Structure 1
């Protein structure tokens, strides 16, 4: 869900994306919820259906509440709960396919900040240049690595 959205000049959003779960995650939620019908059939089919619906709503709410957002403004970058001033951002690179797998695995630094979702393959690596921050870079999943890199490379820092 990336979209260039404008607000007041100081709050202009250059890029915004929610890392929503993939379709297969929602199918797993439906399957888990459906098992409640089977578990409650000995009591009552109606009770089983009601419990399954409540379970589906609760699981969906938990998934949506835990969905991180990426947000780039002229002054800041927010990835999940982390936020940094853009003046502390160095090199930015997007990766897809095998390169993304490499970044999420063998090439990953254990001290990096990660906002990775298993259902989103592409990633963007964002170098952190703040001398007071021991984090060498942020690595975040994104469905649109080219758009995120472009927003972060805009010179309106």
Structure 2
């Protein structure tokens, strides 16, 4: 394959990309909790109660942790992507980076029932993306981010 052909097939590099990962200490902690719960259900019994709790709870815990660990936040040239939600950059009115106190305010007293929220409690920062779309009743998005200033800058830069 020539360099021209590989350049055409390569996707354009996003302006910003982040994965909202779970802290690594949560993995062994939650697996230990699942193993303890399975042992409580087992309690020395024989038959199905001896192995089903372990066969169900441990893989289920790993699956749920994997699902919670896969959220991606990406800013491309035309869209803001959060997991499988897509927002065209043309409808963004403003972007506000939030620290822990600002995030608590926006999700608490300043919340709106129609807001789109992707919040991870283990991540202190966030961005509030204010929308200007008359066809959409969603007033704003709140998305957790470990680097809210960089995400807000990338959104504002890509928008203009």
Alignment correspondent of 2:93: 90
8 Å contact from structure 1 (residues 33, 53) kept in 2: no
Go from structure 1 to structure 2 and tell me whether the alpha carbon gap of 1:28 and 1:10 turns closer, same or farther (over 3 Å shift).
closer
Moved over 4 A (4+): 7-10, 47-51
Alignment correspondent of 1:21: 22
Question: Alpha-carbon deviation of 1:111?
Answer: 1.6
5+ unaligned residues in a row in structure 1: which ranges? 1-6
8 Å contact from structure 2 (residues 116, 138) kept in 1: yes
SS at match of 1:138: strand
TM-score normalized by the length of structure 1? 0.78
Q: From the CA coordinates, give the structure whose radius of gyration is larger.
A: 2
2:54 aligned with 1:52, yes or no?
A: yes
8 Å contact from structure 1 (residues 94, 124) kept in 2: yes
Alignment correspondent of 2:36: 34
Aligned-partner Cα distance in 2 for 1:11–1:39: 51
5+ unaligned residues in a row in structure 2: which ranges? 1-7
Q: How many residues align?
A: 149
8 Å contact from structure 1 (residues 20, 64) kept in 2: no
